[in-house]
A and B are shown apart, each in its own frame.
Chain A
Amino acid sequence: QKEVEQNSGPLSVPEGAIASLNCTYSDRVSQSFFWYRQYSGKSPELIMSIYSNGDKEDGRFTAQLNKASQYVSLLIRDSQPSDSATYLCAVSGGGFKTIFGAGTRLFVKA
């Protein structure tokens, strides 16, 4: 079992729809959870961080964390073509090392 798992996609949604990206992790003592966005040919950049159970909203983005289920998700409301990118889930666990998932490719169709 991979430590951080994501559906590789691609996930395709129409413009204006909600995109839902999911991630599961194996280390039960994980404490910090991050979502990064990576455009083609660019480096990953942080878009959301979440540390406690529940939802955290920032503009069109909402991160959801459920530690009991070892599950973290990212919702993108009113998806735009500019949101088309690869989204990386990252988890920092007991060893303090941040581990990245393989990423989910998102395509937003105009």
Chain B
Amino acid sequence: GAGVSQSPSNKVTEKGKDVELRCDPISGHTALYWYRQSLGQGLEFLIYFQGNSAPDKSGLPSDRFSAERTGGSVSTLTIQRTQQEDSAVYLCASSLGGHSQAFFGQGTRLTVV
């Protein structure tokens, strides 16, 4: 596609359920980022994939969060046993790698009730 695509756009889930968020980056982009943004707050880095290198998971807030990137393309962010504090917008971005600009998807708004 022309841009970074995220799905779903909105997700409402019950506390304790698992959720999967999907990111389809721009074709050819080797770098992929996941960020979280709570209402009125800045971007919180979660995880970074660069090519075939081991991902930088330093931003994942707990072991309930995990992410994978299959075939160097699509990425899935999984949150297990969701909590109310997980409610936020989850943004995915991709870039050509190196020191290139990042392009953002439209985000997934997660609400845990």
User: Interface of A with B (CB < 8 Å)?
Assistant: 31-32, 34, 43-46, 49, 51, 88, 90, 92, 95-103
Contacts and interface: CB of A to CB of B under 8 A. Distances in A.
Contact of B50 (A32, A88, A96, A103): A96
Given A96-B50, A97-B48, A32 B43 contact: no
A91 to B, nearest CB: 9
Q: Which 3 A-B pairs have the closest CB atoms?
A: A102-B42, A32-B99, A43-B104
Interface in B58-108: 91, 95, 97-107
B104 to A, nearest CB: 4
B34 interface: no
Interface of B: 31, 33, 35, 41-43, 45, 48, 50, 56, 91, 95, 97-107
26 contacts: A31-B99, A32-B101, A34-B101, A43-B91, A43-B105, A43-B106, A43-B107, A44-B43, A44-B91, A44-B104, A45-B104, A46-B101, A49-B101, A51-B99, A92-B99, A95-B56, A96-B31, A96-B50, A96-B98, A97-B50, A98-B95, A98-B102, A100-B35, A100-B43, A102-B41, A103-B42
Contacts of B41: 102
